[in-house]
Amino acid sequence: MVKEQLRARGIQDLGVLEAFNKVERHKFVLPELKDSAYGDFPLSIGEGQTISQPYIVALMTECLQISPSHTVLEIGTGSGYQAAILAERALHVYSIERHEVLASKAEALLKELGYGNISITAGDGTLGWQEYAPFDRIIVTAAAPRVPLPLLEQLRNGGKLVMPLGGSFGQILTLAEKERDKITYRKICDCVFVPLVGKYGTKVNN
Ligand code: SAH
């Protein structure tokens, strides 16, 4: 996976590659999908949600240029895989998941794997997590037409946020950078994510 899907496609950050070598992806997928855990595609994790393709997880992590002093906010814990990759690079990861079942499953797994630097809560991540703000880095692993305002507010100056922006059928992975309270946006690539459902997210009823 690391050699053929990540390095061959241009992921160069040694810290990111090291994290992928360390975190065992098969532990984060449904038991019946274990044989496909390292495949070049997203996989179902239950509740109608998916764990992203390894390359996209790596690309988003690389874009954030995380250093060991950083606190990171993740919206969309899902299986907890992306949170584990982030936790290998950062000081602390705060992660919010709207499906309570997924949140508690990920929390139990990450605890079992020994991660002491990940905090998970169930709720609407489009509101951010004010208690621990501001964050050095923010990653949103679900799609909406624009970045939720509370997340831009909870991003530290000098901080970076990565998120898929667009409608339900396709989005553009976008890197937002905040300097002196001004946000600039950079397009990374086309992508397809599940919708970010919440007050400042995509308006759908599910
Ligand atoms: N990062 C995950 C994959 C996430 S899939 C992993 O590594 O496995 C996107 C997740 O975002 C889904 O689990 C979905 O339930 C969650 N989600 C959607 N809208 C949300 C919101 N407003 N707040 C928190 N989580 C949300």
Distance CA 129, CA 138 (A): 11
Could you confirm whether 52 is annotated as catalytic?
yes
Residue 196 belongs to a domain: no
As given in the structure block, the two tokens for residue 61 are 């992590």
Q: Is 150 in the pocket of ligand 1 (CB under 6 A)?
A: no
156 close to 179: Cβ distance less than 8 angstroms? no
**197 in a structural domain:** no
Structural domain containing residue 85: 2-191
* Domains identified in the chain, total number: 1
Q: Cα(58)–Cα(44) distance, rounded to whole angstroms?
A: 18
Token pair listed for 132 = 């621990």
- Residue 53 is given by DSSP the state P
Is 203 a member of any domain? no
Residue 93, beta-bridge partner list: 72, 118
Cα gap 33→165, rounded to integer Å: 29
Distance 143 CA to ligand 1 centre (A): 9
25 lines ligand 1 (CB under 6 A): no
pLDDT of residue 169: 87
Q: Choosing from 36, 44, 52, 69, which is the catalytic residue?
A: 52
Ligand 1 binding pocket includes 95 (Cβ within 6 Å): no
Q: Residue 131's pLDDT is what?
A: 98
Mean pLDDT by 10 residues, the chain (206 residues): 97 98 97 96 93 97 98 98 98 98 98 98 98 98 97 98 95 98 98 96 69
Q: State the pLDDT at residue 154.
A: 98
Structural domain includes residue 180: yes
pLDDT value at residue 205:
55
Q: Which two tokens stand for residue 197?
A: 């459902």
In this structure, the number of other CB atoms found within 10 A of the CB of residue 146 comes to 13
Would you say the CB of residue 81 lies under 6 angstroms from ligand 1? yes
Q: Is residue 181 part of a domain?
A: yes
CATH of residue 9: 3.40.50.150
Q: Is residue 205 part of a domain?
A: no
For a pocket test of ligand 1, which of 194, 200, 205 has the largest count of ligand atoms closer than 8 A to its C-beta? Answer: 194
204, part of any domain: no
Query: Does 174 fall in a domain?
Result: yes
Ligand 1 atom 16: residue of nearest CA:
76
